[in-house]
Structures are given as C-alpha cells and as structure tokens.
Structure 1
Amino acid sequence: MKEFLHRAALKAETLYDRAFGRTGQGRVIDPYIGYATPDSLIVRGRVLSKVTRANPTESQSVLTNIRQMISLFLTDEVQNVTVRAQGVEAVTDEEGYFRLELPRPETSGWHEVDLDIEGFEDQAMCHALVPRDDARFLVISDIDDTMLETGAYVLWKNLWTSFSGNALTRRVFSDAIALMDTLSEDGRNPVFYVSSSPWNFHHFLEQIFRHARLVRGPKFLRDLGLSENQFITGTHGDHKGAAIDTILAANPDLPAILMGDTGQHDAHVYLDAIKRHPGRIHAVVLREPGRGPDVGTMSVMREIEDTDTPLYHAPTFKGMEPQAGLS
C-alpha cells in the first residue's frame, strides 16, 4: 500500500508541475542556519527556481494567512546544481538540498558565509553558529507546543493554528522566551531547535522567532518531499532522535538539556537519547500542554527519572530555571 501511495503521489506531483509550469529554470538559494563540528562549519540550504517571501501584517485576513502558508509548499526544487562557498562545492540532490562542509573558523559566535551558484551572479548569505569556548552546556529544544503554541497534540487544532496565523500573530510562549534567555546566558550556551515541521517553514519560523525575540539557533527540520526513492521521511521520533545524535556528535564536550512537551512523544524520544548517550544528558524539561501527559507518557517520564537524569515538568516554564537548577 505504501508503495502504491508513493507512486500515486509522485505522479500527481509530476502532473502538477507540468500544469503550473514548475520547470526548475530559475536558481535561488534558500539558506538554512549552519552549525559547527569540531573540525568543520556545516552550511545547509536548498536551491529553488524561485522563492516567495510574504510580508505579513497583524490585521490581514485568515484567508490571506492560509494562502501564504500554502504557498510555502508550492516549491520548485532544482537538482544537480553546483553551490559554492570558500572554494568548496556541493551538488543539490533530487529535492534541491545541499550541504557544504567548510573549514571551522578560529573565532566563535555567528559567522556569515557567502554562497553562489555556478553560472549565476546572484548570491545568498548563510548564517552559521560556532559555540563559544566557555559554553557550559547546549540546549536542544522542540518547537511546537514547547516554544510556539500550536496544539500539535490535536490534529485539527494543529492544522488550524499552523495555517490560519502568520509570523506576526503566532504566539511564542513568554515563559519559553524567558527560560531560553536564562539558559543561553547571553549567547554563552548554544541553542538548537529540532522539529518535525518541514524545511519549507525555515524562513517562516525565523520570522516568528525574530519577532518574538526568541534566542536564535540552528534548526533541524524535516524533509517531507517526494522523490523516486522517498515517500516522506521516517517517523517523528526517528527524525528527532537522528537530529539529537547529530547535534551531540557536533558538540562532543558539552552536556545537553533536552526541552520538549508531553503532547508529541518527546519523553519517549528523550528517554531513547539518554540510553544512547549515557552521561551526556544534563536534564530533561517538559511542558505539559492541554490535558497533560497520558498514562503512557507518565510511565516513560518515570523511566527517565530512573536513569538519574533530572526531569522537570509543569504546564508552564515560568520560574523553572531556579527550580531546575539550570541557570
């Protein structure tokens, strides 16, 4: 059945591309925030035939918001394009993604990397984060219902909230902003975000975070695209677990604080991460949205506590820094 659905969806996408003229003739880089490993600076992004950026207003209609959100998915990816930076080249895959591995800068902090496409004059800039030498730990946080009110634990609420709002009206929890400010210690400790939202939302999420003044950090989102070899990526847990593994490997000397919520199996994902990386997880922090954790999640939370990993959970993060001893 999955193979049948894969082929049907791929055929539908091909027919749509033909009908609406998505030819892949343009060349525009959609850059994602990069990150550092012990030896390299990883620069990521996607090449599209065009990129449409909305300039939302708080008063615009729900219909306009929905139309702008749908437009984020109507991308025309360009494969087999050479992207260059600092003498290093990478070729885009079937979904237009690229990954450049550059020499790690000698200085910490935010770095700007100029990108260009072979044969095209237009350039793009990618921002990348190199953790400070005095960092005490890193933070890996979920986004939906942890930082950003979404209602992801109820499908209809998730869809309505995600599509009916815009970058100026979506609500970032004020207690999440305050906790992240405390944990990051004015940039001393790096912050990473892991979400099952698609990469199509990267710029949109950047707009939301910037408007709310939420601590900025590299994001690890999910590829929901179709290709000959792929029918959407793995499960929510598979994606988040793999992203956590990548972040921890990139920062081998830093313990991690894992932040999430009890509405989307984050406790299960974090328990598995604790088992895979003994001694690396400094604490787990969970928001309890909606009705709070169900019986299964509560059981997993007890398992986390049995590993002697500090677990802090409540309906709100307000006042949690001193309670958790995280600051």
Structure 2
Amino acid sequence: MVRKALHAVVWRIERVIDAVRGQRDKRRVIEPYIGYATPDHLVVRGRVLTALRRNAPRAEQSRWVNFRQMLGLFLTDEVADVEISAEGMTAHTDEEGYFTLLLARDDRRGWQDVIVRIVDTDVAVACPVMIAGDDAAFVVVSDIDDTMLRTGAYSLARNLWTSLTGNALTRQVFPDAVTFMQHLTEGGRNPVYYVSSSPWNLHDFLATIFDRAGLVRGPKFLRDLGVSRTQFITGTHGDHKGGSIDTLIAAHPGLPFVLVGDTGQHDAFVYLDAIARHPGRIAAVVLREPGPGPDAESREAMARIEQAGTPLLHGPTFEGFGERLLVLLNEGLRT
C-alpha cells in the first residue's frame, strides 16, 4: 500500500512538472534509436524531447565535470502525445515521449534510414533500422555492462562510481569483446543486438563509446526508468532482459540465438529461463566472469544450462571464444 501511494504521488508530481515544462518550452526534437525488423514490420523507434542532451567530453577533465555531464543526460524534457509519421504511418508519443512506428516490411535489407517527422512541423530526422539478411545463420543478443563495457556492475558502489564519474572517452570496451563480436557477426551477416538495464537516456552515450572502440553496431534494448501511470520504475533487470530476448526470438523465427552476458548480474539465470521458454532456439550461451567470478547460485545455473544440452563458454575473458563458438555452431547447424 505504501509503495502504491508513493507511486501515485510521484506520478502526479511528474505530470505537473512535465506539463509546466511543455507549456514553457515549445521546441521539439526527435532522438532516434536504432530500429529492427520482424517478418511483418520495420520497427522504427525514438523519443520526442524539447532538446537533445549531448556532451563534448575531454579525456583529461575531472570526475566532477564528468558527473555533472552525466547527470545532465538524465535531465530530459520529454513531450507526450506528439503525432509523428513515416512512410504514410503515424503514431503518438507516450507519456515519456517514446514512440514506435510499425512500417510494412518490404524487400529492403541491411542498414536503412527511415525519415521520421513530427506532423505539421518541419522537424524530421533519419531513424536507422537494421534489417537482417536472408543469409543470417544465427542471432547474437548481448548484455553490455561487464560483458562488453568495463563497469563493475557486480558491485553497486563500483557500478555507480564508474558510470557517473567517467565519460565517453574514458569508459573502456573490453578489447576481447570487440574481436569476439567481429567473429560472430561474420562481416555483418549475423545480426547483433544489445540488451541492458541502462536507461534510454544513455543511448547516444553508449553508441559513441561503441563506435570509438569499433564494437559491432546493433539495436539496443534499454530501460525506461521513468514513472508511468501503471508502473513505478519499469520492471526488473531480469524481466527487462528476458522480455527483450522473447521479442527478438519472435522477430527472427527459425534462427538460433547466441546469448552473451556475464556472471556479475546473474545473467545465467535469465538465459536458463530463456532456454526453458524457447526449446531448441538457444544455440549457445557465453558468459564473462568479472570481478570475483560466479557465486554458488550462478555456478548452479551454469551447470543447469549445460545439463539442458546448451553449449556454454565462460571465463574471465572472451579470448579465443569467437573461433571456438563458430566451430560449435557450425557443427550444430549441420546436425
């Protein structure tokens, strides 16, 4: 009851603040997110704000400056109920400014730009969409923190310190992750997706880090940490990651999946559940072991993954995993 009452109060306060902001600031911009394709649709995604929050960091700047810049990424003014359009289809932004446009699937393949407009304005932006080719052999879904990006998410204090006091020039992608993902995508043949509990406010920040490191580009499934009418901070880490995996498996019928994560946030449990929900669809699981490595519960979940007959690669680095995994997958696809 206390949580429900607190949710109601916070939601009403946020609605009043958003209404005041919207009345004061009539600017509208579209922040594009990378979309993807299903058998029936191109899924175009983005958010309407009053202004984009972007940083211009320097590698030598202080942690205090980094903190202020990171905090600024969360101070967004979203705009609800804005009508947007693309290729003859329209939609309205939700109460947090997010929109999803479902366009008819056609013969386009690879990376495509879809021009999205705010109706009755001259505001328009190109929203990228990744459309897997017919030659894809499998799909890769990867976690980000401590899997691709050095974070320390296995420790809340370390996670917050690293996330809030670094910048796009100081944050480090694991070099072995770059090589590993390049092996798996096989020159862009196999689509790669990233799933994280990080908020959508960090979409551009993460894209900048990934591009600088040369990490394979792919659509991201991040979390809405805002307060909605029905939810007080949306979902849990496991719910978000599991739901995103379900969405992507439905988007790629017939293709096997490789799930990549780490033991710091109990990804083994999430992936074990995905194996149970989608028999025969998970071709392999790969887990990095950051910090102290897996605890007893994670080791048990990892053992159950192997007992289910799903190949599991795990270790403190991904060195050599790309070659080993491709051999395993090719053997599995031939049987």
Q: TM-score range by the shorter chain?
A: over 0.9
Write the distance in 2 (CA, Å) between the matches of 1:289 and 1:195. Answer: 16
Q: Cα offset for 1:303?
A: 0.6
Residue of structure 2 in register with 1:180 after alignment: 181
AA in 1 matched with 2:26: Q
Residue of structure 2 in register with 1:46 after alignment: 47
Residue of structure 2 in register with 1:151 after alignment: 152
On the 8 A contact 1:24/1:48 being kept in 2, the answer is no
Deviates more, 1:15-24 or 1:214-223: 15-24
Matched position secondary structure for 1:318 = coil
Write the distance in 2 (CA, Å) between the matches of 1:18 and 1:127. Answer: 30
AA in 1 matched with 2:51: K
Write the distance in 2 (CA, Å) between the matches of 1:118 and 1:302. Answer: 53
Residue of structure 1 in register with 2:195 after alignment: 194
Matched position secondary structure for 1:227 = coil
Q: Cα offset for 1:53?
A: 1.3
Write the distance in 2 (CA, Å) between the matches of 1:46 and 1:321. Answer: 35
Give the direction of change, closer, same or farther, for the CA distance of 1:278–1:24 in structure 2 (3 Å limit). Answer: farther
Deviates more, 1:274-283 or 1:114-123: 114-123
Matched position secondary structure for 1:230 = coil
Residue 10 (structure 1) aligned with residue 20 (structure 2): no
Give the direction of change, closer, same or farther, for the CA distance of 1:316–1:117 in structure 2 (3 Å limit). Answer: same
Question: Which 4+ residue blocks in structure 1 deviate beyond 6 angstroms?
Answer: 18-22
Write the distance in 2 (CA, Å) between the matches of 1:100 and 1:12. Answer: 29
Number of residue pairs matched by the alignment: 327
AA in 2 matched with 1:167: A
Residue of structure 2 in register with 1:233 after alignment: 234
Q: Any residues of structure 2 matched to 1:76-225 within 5 Å, and which?
A: 76-225=77-226
On the 8 A contact 2:168/2:205 being kept in 1, the answer is yes
Deviations 1:153-202 (A, max 9, x none): 11110001001111111000000000000000110000000111111111
On the 8 A contact 2:21/2:77 being kept in 1, the answer is no
Q: Percent identity?
A: 58
On the 8 A contact 1:262/1:293 being kept in 2, the answer is yes
Q: Cα offset for 1:234?
A: 1.2
Q: Cα offset for 1:270?
A: 0.2
On the 8 A contact 2:183/2:323 being kept in 1, the answer is no
Matched position secondary structure for 1:301 = helix
Write the distance in 1 (CA, Å) between the matches of 2:106 and 2:118. Answer: 22
Residue 56 (structure 1) aligned with residue 57 (structure 2): yes
On the 8 A contact 1:244/1:273 being kept in 2, the answer is yes
Give the direction of change, closer, same or farther, for the CA distance of 1:17–1:81 in structure 2 (3 Å limit). Answer: closer
Write the distance in 2 (CA, Å) between the matches of 1:316 and 1:12. Answer: 46
Q: Cα offset for 1:17?
A: 5.3
The alignment yields a C-alpha RMSD, in angstroms, of 1.7
Residue of structure 2 in register with 1:286 after alignment: 287
On the 8 A contact 1:24/1:77 being kept in 2, the answer is no
AA in 1 matched with 2:268: A
Structure 1: unaligned runs, 5 residues or longer? none
Give the direction of change, closer, same or farther, for the CA distance of 1:41–1:17 in structure 2 (3 Å limit). Answer: closer
Matched position secondary structure for 2:57 = coil
AA in 2 matched with 1:4: A
Residue of structure 2 in register with 1:258 after alignment: 259
On the 8 A contact 1:183/1:326 being kept in 2, the answer is no
Deviates more, 1:14-23 or 1:111-120: 14-23
Structure 2: unaligned runs, 5 residues or longer? 330-335
TM (norm. structure 2) is 0.94
Deviations 1:209-229 (A, max 9, x none): 111110000111111101232
Deviates more, 1:22-31 or 1:282-291: 22-31
